[in-house]
């Protein structure tokens, strides 16, 4: 079976408010083949999200000129739990409407300063007029609609804490954090807000030659005819799925983007990647609709969520 992609780009994002290199910073890994079709991987480290966004745009432009098709993975949520757009009062309650809302509210400057806590507080105000579902902030960022600690048990109980893909992953060895957590060890809430805003801008530059899985493709196995019109397919990834071990001199995040890119490249080589885009066996029509329209799914999660 023909490979779906010519290159595999994985970005390990950050919500940092200062410029930083090395550990716990922004890394991009790209696996591709040389003139003899041997797979090799390059890793790049940049000090700010603006530089990361520019780097990815440049890499994708180079591949596009060559007619390459690139799998582009980001390590933050591409969707929110079902019902988020409706609770916000958006006219378009799909992932697209939520992305546009986030992109229009997030301010992310070249020096990495950003307003993610203010955006979370605004979303809380619109959704519940309380300090939930988003929670977690350093003391100087707390206010009426955003507190430092998790809300009381039962607060906002009608708002799911996790998406279906996270509930599925929690049945295995992973313990993903909720997108509502903005601060603290392993929190992904802030990274998701600034990340979605960045991907939204990238897609506007690439349109119409890019798509987001599973929103723009359907949650189904993909074949070369699905990928052929595209220069890039954006997916959500969790590098921790692949148990990356740093080589000597490698940073942890650097190893994770390298191993994740290589894993998908090798799956594609073996003809296994196409089926990975399909839902787990037994997925209901309701779950498929929920994933395709609002929540998204992590490429590589193969379980169904508990009933």
pLDDT in tens, 43-102: 999 999 999 999 999 999 999 999 999 999 999 999 999 999 999 999 999 999 999 999
Q: Taking the CB of residue 154, how many other CB atoms lie within 10 A of it?
A: 6
pLDDT-derived band of residue 1, with 50, 70 and 90 as boundaries?
Answer: low
Torsion angle of C-alpha atoms 209, 223, 75, 52, degrees rounded to 10: -30
What phi and psi values does residue 304 have, to the nearest 5 degrees?
-90, 150
From 143-152, 166-175, 184-193, 231-240, the region with the lowest mean pLDDT:
166-175
Q: Is the pLDDT score of 154 beyond 80?
A: no
- Position 244 scores a pLDDT of 86
**SS3 for 127?**
helix
Q: Is residue 22 part of a domain?
A: yes
- Position 158 scores a pLDDT of 84
User: Tokens for 298?
Assistant: 């992590």
Q: Is residue 177 part of a domain?
A: no
Radius of gyration in angstroms for the set of CA atoms belonging to the chain, rounded to a whole number: 19
pLDDT digits (tens, 9 = 90+) for 246-300: 999 999 999 999 999 999 999 999 999 999 999 999 999 999 999 999 999 999 9
pLDDT-derived band of residue 172, with 50, 70 and 90 as boundaries?
Answer: confident
Q: Is residue 123 part of a domain?
A: no
pLDDT-derived band of residue 186, with 50, 70 and 90 as boundaries?
Answer: confident
Q: Is residue 32 part of a domain?
A: yes
Bridge partners (DSSP) of residue 33 are: 39
CA dist 152 to 131, 157, 282, Å?
10, 10, 35
The kind and range of the H/E element at 166 are: helix 164-169
Half-sphere exposure of 189 (CA within 13 A, CB side): 28
Q: Is the pLDDT score of 18 beyond 80?
A: yes
User: Tokens for 122?
Assistant: 């605004």
- Position 63 scores a pLDDT of 94
CA proximity to 66, closest of 235, 304, 232, 259 = 232
Percent of the chain with pLDDT over 90: 87
Q: Is residue 202 part of a domain?
A: yes
**Rounded-to-integer distance, Cα 232 and Cα 281, Å:** 27
Q: Is 100 exposed, middle or buried (0-12, 13-18, 19+ CB in 10 A)?
A: middle
* Residues whose CB is less than 8 angstroms from the CB of residue 35 and which lie 6 or more positions away in sequence, other chains included: none
Q: Is 99 exposed, middle or buried (0-12, 13-18, 19+ CB in 10 A)?
A: buried
Structural domain total, the chain: 1
Domain that residue 241 falls in: 7-77+195-295
Q: Is the pLDDT score of 157 beyond 80?
A: no
Distance of CA 110 to the CA centre of its chain: 21
Q: Is residue 223 part of a domain?
A: yes
Q: Per-residue pLDDT averaged across 217-236, rounded?
A: 96
Is residue 2 within 8 Å of 247, Cβ to Cβ?
Answer: no
What phi and psi values does residue 141 have, to the nearest 5 degrees?
-105, 0
DSSP 216: T
Q: Per-residue pLDDT averaged across 143-158, rounded?
A: 87
User: Tokens for 28?
Assistant: 């991009």
Mean pLDDT, the chain, rounded, equals 94
Q: Per-residue pLDDT averaged across 22-37, rounded?
A: 91
């Amino acid at each position: 079976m023909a490979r779906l992609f010519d290159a595999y780009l994985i970005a390990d994002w950050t919500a940092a408010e200062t410029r930083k290199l090395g550990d716990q910073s922004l890394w991009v890994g790209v696996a591709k083949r040389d003139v003899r079709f041997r797979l090799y991987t390059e890793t790049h480290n940049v000090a700010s999200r603006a530089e990361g966004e520019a780097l990815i745009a440049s890499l994708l432009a180079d591949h596009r000129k060559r007619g390459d098709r690139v799998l582009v993975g980001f390590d933050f949520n591409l969707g929110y739990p079902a019902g988020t757009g409706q609770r916000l009062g958006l006219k378009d309650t799909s992932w697209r409407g939520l992305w546009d809302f986030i992109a229009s509210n997030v301010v992310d400057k070249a020096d990495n300063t950003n307003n993610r806590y203010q955006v979370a507080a605004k979303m809380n105000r619109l959704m519940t007029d309380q300090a939930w579902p988003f929670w977690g902030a350093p003391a100087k960022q707390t206010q009426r609609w955003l507190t430092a600690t998790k809300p009381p048990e039962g607060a906002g109980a009608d708002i799911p804490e996790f998406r279906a893909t996270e509930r599925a992953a929690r049945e295995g060895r992973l313990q993903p954090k909720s997108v509502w957590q903005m601060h603290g060890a392993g929190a992904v809430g802030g990274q998701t807000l600034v990340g979605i805003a960045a991907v939204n801008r990238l897609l506007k530059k690439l349109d119409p030659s890019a798509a987001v899985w599973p929103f723009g493709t359907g949650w189904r196995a993909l074949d070369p005819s699905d990928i052929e019109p595209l220069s890039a397919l954006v997916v959500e990834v969790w590098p921790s799925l692949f148990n990356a071990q740093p080589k000597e001199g490698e940073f942890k995040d650097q190893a994770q983007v390298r191993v994740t890119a290589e894993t998908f490249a090798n799956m594609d080589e073996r003809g296994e990647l196409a089926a990975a885009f399909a839902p787990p066996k037994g997925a209901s029509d309701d779950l498929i609709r929920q994933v395709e329209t609002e929540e998204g799914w992590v490429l590589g999660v193969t379980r169904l969520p508990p009933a």
